[in-house]
Amino acid sequence: MRFFALLLALLLPSLAQSQDDGGESRQVVCRFLCFGSTDTPDAVDTIGPKGAKIPCPLPTKRISEPITAYAKANKIAFYQENSDKLAGTATIPSNARAAILVFVPAPEGAKSKAPWRVIVIEDSAKNFPDGGIFVANFHNDDIRFIIGEHKGALHPARTKGYARPEKRDSFNMAPVIFEFLSQDKWRVGNESALRFLPGMRYLIFAYTDPRSKRPRINTYQDFRSVAKPLP
């Protein structure tokens, strides 16, 4: 349950930024990712301004291609594929025109009957510097890490974007090390080397595996640049 409490905390900034837009819909460039479930649907549906159904894929290994969705009162409702049953609702910050939507299972006993909770990550240069990396801590304790010359730490339910490391080898590789607290001692949980190229970016989740209860790292590589806002 602590895992899902942290996911809710990540949603709160988006909720706080949302304002009623007078009922008019606005376009949002959305990309999708499903995380934390062993029973993931192929897609969900959302509705366009003229009532047309818009299929939205839910990949688990990569971030999807961009889909133009429509937010009304800063919310996008998603429905189970080929059904009128609500799958989940995304709350989009009022100034965001592009976002990555991460679908995670809703906790048992949640007020909403929807099976999915949608985490909104604004797709911006601040969160995703070109050639850089975005880190989100879903784990129930602090994490710390080294990304090239960058040294960082995040409390639970915190996120941060980092620029492309300047200290890279001849193959544009830089070390990436994540550490977790265990019995009051920092222990290496994941150590690797990633290639950092212009036009490439990474999304890294630290989380607690629901089966083993051990801390884990998921890394998603994306070759697309930050989505350009629609006019």
Neighbours of 61 (CB within 10 A): 9
Cα–Cα distance for residue pair 219/177, rounded to 1 Å:
12
Using the Cα atoms of residue 107, residue 159, residue 182 and residue 207 in order, give the sign of their dihedral: positive
Q: Which of 105, 225, 207 is nearest to 154 (CA)?
A: 207
* Span of 1-5, 48-52, 134-138, 207-211 with lowest mean pLDDT: 1-5
pLDDT tens, 34-63? 987 777 889 999 999 888 999 999 999 999
In this structure, what DSSP letter does residue 201 have?
E
DSSP reduced 3-state for 14:
helix
Tokens matching residue 201: 């970016």
How much is the pLDDT for 105?
Answer: 84
pLDDT tens, 181-199? 988 899 999 999 999 999 8
Cα–Cα distance for residue pair 118/213, rounded to 1 Å:
22
How much is the pLDDT for 7?
Answer: 54
pTM: 0.79
Query: What fold does the segment set 2-122 form as a domain?
Result: Immunoglobulin-like (2.60.40)
Rg (alpha carbons) of the chain, rounded to whole number: 18
Annotated domain spans of the chain = 2-122, 133-222
* Span of 88-102, 151-165, 206-220 with lowest mean pLDDT: 206-220
